[in-house]
Amino acid sequence: MLNSQSPIPLYHQLADIILAKIRSGEYPPGSRIPSENSLAATYGIGRPTARQATDLLVRKLMLVRKRGSGTFVRESRKEVDLFSLAGTISSFHKKGISVSTQIIEDIRLETVESDSENPFSGKEAYFYSRLSRVEDMPVLIEDIYLHSALFSGIERFNLQGRSLSQIVGEQYYMRPTGGKQNFRVGYLGGGKAQFLDVSSDTPILTVKRFLHFEQEKNAIYSELFCRTDRFVFSQSLFGK
């Protein structure tokens, strides 16, 4: 039961109790938890306090509200390794996740604007942007830059729905040898926010990826904008 003498707020105590029941399996993923009225009656508190407790767990992505149905334990989010050298699409497929892609900016050769992190800053590079969807829900935007000489003529190929790593391997006989990624949290506005169906105050995982090839370091550079409410995006670590 709740301890009214504790310095921990009652709503936080109740949230901890609900969380313990989720972790123990008493409230399994996808199950409906008791209503706020029921929680209030069970624990001898007011409905606003029960609401605060469930609000807290909704913000922590442990619960989800479904209008007209109640509050449910959120289904486990699938994990996708973002640093697969085989490519982002392959990372989804390895987890048995069907993903569709849409080109939202056609490939073109352009002079890249000044950007201290972009290895093609002030130089010519191929650029295109694509949107990935899972079950028709937008989850990821990739802005992709490619070395202009190594990938000369890539605009001839149909990139719609195709793995870039597959095209690079089959048409240019190249495989990445390594790379690195930088992670940060950011926010989107304008067209990108609309494509991902998020608001300007929704936190987005932003990843800057550098891929190295035997022929050239940083031959492919991409910026990824990831929604994290459906998937956990990860990076595998391997010891030497």
Intrachain domains 10-73 and 78-234 with the same fold? no
So where are the chain's domains?
10-73, 78-234
Cα 46-52-57 angle, rounded to 5 deg: 135
CA distance 90 to 188: 26
Q: Kindly indicate whether the domain formed by 10-73 is annotated with CATH number 1.20.1250.20.
A: no
Which of 48, 54, 46 shows the shortest CA–CA distance to 17?
54
Helices marked H in 121-222: 164-172, 190-196
CATH of domain 78-234: 3.40.1410.10
The answer, yes or no, to whether residue 240 has pLDDT greater than 60, is: no
CA distance 183 to 215: 26
The answer, yes or no, to whether residue 59 has pLDDT greater than 70, is: yes
Which of 68, 63, 97 shows the shortest CA–CA distance to 80?
97
Q: What is the pLDDT of residues 194-224, one digit of tens each?
A: 999 988 888 898 989 999 999 999 999 999 9
Quick one: pLDDT at residue 85? Answer: 47
What average pLDDT does range 14-31 have in this prediction?
Answer: 91
pTM above 0.85, yes or no: no
Least confident window among 1-15, 26-40, 79-93, 177-191: 79-93
Contact 147, 219 (CB under 8 A): yes
Q: What is the pLDDT of residues 109-120, one digit of tens each?
A: 999 999 999 999
Least confident window among 30-44, 69-83, 156-170, 226-240: 226-240
Which of 238, 239, 231, 209 shows the shortest CA–CA distance to 95?
231
